Chains A and B, each alone.
Chain A
Amino acid sequence: MAKSEIYKPIQARVTSKSPMKLRADFLKRIFKDKRAVVCILFLFIVSIVGIFAPIIAPFDPEELFYDSILEAPNKEHLLGTDAIGRDLLSRLIYGVRVTLTVSLLAVAITFFLGTFIGLVCAYVGGWVDNVLMRIMDILLALPSIILALAIVAILGPSLTNAMIAVGVASIPGFARLIRGAALTIKSSMFVEASRSIGSSHSWILRRQFLPNVTGILLVYTTLFIGVAILDTAALSFIGLGAQPPTPEWGTMLSEGRNYMQNAWWLATFPGIAITMVVFAVNFLGDALRDIFDPKSSG
């Protein structure tokens, strides 16, 4: 997924349909797209696996089996065991919980704060817009992972802090997108009309701005989930995210890296897990973009 595509502004849909009808329309179009359906289905299954981890996982993810250390995949341990004798499959399954919770919460932080800052900048304009956007520009100059590293360095290494760091680090990009989209809406006739009849700011923001940026919000939130999963894994990989013995995919990948030559399964399976989920999320994001892109709607 090329980064540039994430930031490519999308022309806002200006529509007169009611939000209710809009939603039904969106859903219909999503379900028409096979790509989106497959990805949603895959992510749904993954989530179910995570939710029911205690039932599905064959072992306790933190239990050590001293007599089956570094076992290759076999009947008892389907994906093998790690260097200290823990069942890899169970750890992967429990890892779904960690990965999804953390990335969703991180995205929630980005989503709320990013949307808020973006909308306020666009709507208020003037010096508020200038100050906030210059701050965002400064932060944007840093790659999000570097920013996340700096935040974790200040807060200390833990899963919660990694989540906050990843969430906060993505805010600038998100805020910029929302602001761009909102600016287009601001200059539209219906907003001007509402203003002239004395509608309150909050009403305009809620009823006219928000529904019109929903499409972009949905697309980019989805895409950011992929980024968040990767960034969280990356932080954990270098020891700044999940702390042991938490079964986090990035940590597992990092622990397996030293065994590439003698136990291929340790790094391979967490690697595949991360790749597949990120792949699915990104595909879904791509599909959603095509669906919401007014040019491609037929």
Chain B
Amino acid sequence: MKLKSPRKSLLLFAIFIFFVFLIIGCSSDTSSTEGEEGTDTNTPEEASTPQSGGTITVGSLQEPDTLDVHKTAMSIASVITNHLGGTLLGVNPETNELEPYLAEDYTVSDDGKTLTFKLRQGVTFTDGTPLTAQVFKDTFDRILNPETGATVAAGLVAGIKSTSAPDEQTFVIELEAPSAPFLNSLTSQGYLQPLSMAAIEQFGEDYGRNPVGAGPYKFKEWVTGQSVTLVRNDDFNWPQSSAVNQGKAYPDQMVYKFIPDEQTMLAALDSGSIDVAINVAPKDVQKYRNNPDYYVLEADRQGLGLFLEMNLEDELLADLNVRKAINMAINKDAIIQATINGEGTPSYGPIPSTIFGYDPNVESYGHKLNPEEATSLLESSGYTKNSDGFMEKDGQELAFELSIMGPHNQAAQMIQAMLKDVGINVSIQSLEAGTLMEQVAQGDYQMSLLSYSYSDPDILSMFFHSSQIGGLNHVRLQDPELDALLEKGRTTVEPEERKQVYAQVQENVVENAYWVPIFAEKVFVVVNSRVKDVKMNNVSVEFQDSWVQQ
């Protein structure tokens, strides 16, 4: 591009500007038609009889590291392997209660330490080997064997003393102490499915790319960076009891496509190259609600969508008044409006109402937005405003670094502005997810933003029990009183009594303001209407009844 004449290049410049404004003009047209109010979730029309055949393609932002469920810590691996195998117990998508899956029945001994499962008969792995109690024992032994290097799976079976298989159909688990959350852990998607020992022996190190289970689908291929393809297991007739389809799955194939960018994922959904998009942001859901070609599934997250955690080993944050002031300075409703389009509820305690043991009283005693009191709390701790408008004590400014990962960027900037209003100077450090998790686990941070999902209040012992320092106890709390309460919560099986214990736990955590709980939100899945009957419970998306309109 060599332009000799000045006039010619000026003309080009003008044309360029014109173009730019033309583009703006076009896009403003489209945006004005989209602003209508959303109606209720569309349900697929003309619910006719299910048809066999076709492929369901699911888009995922992440790609698993391995499909060996014992060795992965990535939720997408558990989502995919959930198609490859079943668990002892399932969760009913409507009632969220436990129901039989691979175990027909189970009993818990009076002391709560012995769990006996009676296994379903006639279940075989996709490589032809039969599923017996011995296989369950071998699978659990593999998780418990330190050489396996199990991560999440090991956490789920923590507390097991021993397992045994007295006969082919009976599997027994002995616990060290009664555990209320244990049965629920057994339903965990993918992680605790029985694995074909023959396949593990055959593939050795490569098992993670050649998984074999006893589920509705069998593994076909994994093209790195692109997709995982699963094909129907025609022998499958042992789904969990709440499924309408008690036989083999309808579609011929399930494909998981890996699309690392949200906007690209939505474009793929629009073009029809994927049928299901998981974890669609609330701001993007709106347009699919009004569109008959799609239907939207939603569920309340079991866990917190956002909370701020503070490191007690930091000398400034060791001051309870400072932590309380931070709690009172943050406007949760504004964050909900801005970051998730209002599709969530503010949280005042460490667990949301969707988790057992939630104490509604936190809404009254939890810290509310109150910048004036926040300021006076800081003043009572000896802080005064300096010339920059920030709080200061003995020449030391009240300044913190907030370590976050990319997706929390907006919330972090809002918190930065809100804390600035009460004189707290926050700088944001944006890190890659893996690095952030490592740093906060080591206590190498001041404040951080995270989210979590879990089905049982026992998650609080991971966050606040002194034995978990170096793990999820990022606040680095060592409180024998709270430790005792958390242990009691885990071993108390009687529901009402257990609720009481967790009410005390929540009060303790809120009073001491270790966290700023921010919100619990809805999780959205968007499905193309040509795929019928996709269901979602609080934990997972269910495809057993799903079929493709040909």
Contact = CB atoms under 8 A, between A and B. Distances in A.
B331 interface: yes
B4 A64 contact: no
Given A84-B410, A243-B428, A286 B6 contact: no
Contact of B13 (A72, A262, A279): A279
A69 B17 CA distance: 28
Interface string A260-277: 111110001000100110
Nearest to B416: A245
Interface string A1-25: 1100100000000000000000000
A275 B414 CA distance: 29
Interface string B109-136: 0000000000000000000000000000
B16 A279 contact: yes
B62 interface: no
Contacts of B416: 244-245
B207 to A, nearest CB: 35
B537 interface: no
Nearest to A42: B13
Nearest to B16: A279
B417 A245 contact: yes
Interface stretch (A33-41, A116-124, A169-177, A220-228): A33-41
Interface in B21-36: 23-24, 27-28, 31, 34
B31 A72 contact: yes
Given A157-B430, A257-B263, A279-B16, A84 B10 contact: no
B10 A34 contact: yes
Q: Of residues A2, A66, A85, A268, which shows the largest number of chain B Cβ atoms within 10 Å of its Cβ?
A: A66
A287 B6 contact: yes
A227 to B, nearest CB: 16
B263 A66 contact: no
Given A34-B7, A84-B410, A286-B3, A66 B24 contact: no
Given A34-B7, A244-B416, A264-B24, A64 B334 contact: yes
Interface in B55-110: none
A279 B13 CA distance: 8
A244 B24 contact: no
Contacts of A1: 1
Interface string A157-171: 100000000000000
Interface string B12-52: 01001100100110011001001000000000000000000
A255 B410 CA distance: 9
A111 interface: no
Given A35-B9, A257-B263, A264 B338 contact: no
B28 A84 contact: no
A112 B365 CA distance: 62
B6 A66 contact: no
Interface residues of A, number: 42
A268 B9 contact: no
A33 B6 contact: yes
Contacts, number: 97
Interface string A201-241: 00000000000000000000000000000000000000100
Contact-size category for B: 35 or more
A290 interface: yes
B406 to A, nearest CB: 7
A83 B410 contact: yes
B339 interface: yes
B410 A64 contact: no
B506 to A, nearest CB: 28
B337 A66 contact: yes
A137 interface: no
A257 B262 CA distance: 10
A259 interface: yes
Contacts of B429: 243
B417 A69 contact: no
Contacts of B31: 72, 262-264
B296 interface: no
A85 B24 contact: no
A2 B1 contact: yes
Contacts of A257: 263
B161 interface: no
A290 B6 CA distance: 11
A239 B6 contact: no
A259 B284 CA distance: 9
B393 interface: no
A276 B17 CA distance: 9
B262 A272 contact: no
Contacts of B2: 5, 286
Closest 3 A/B residue pairs (Cβ):
A35-B6, A264-B27, A66-B334
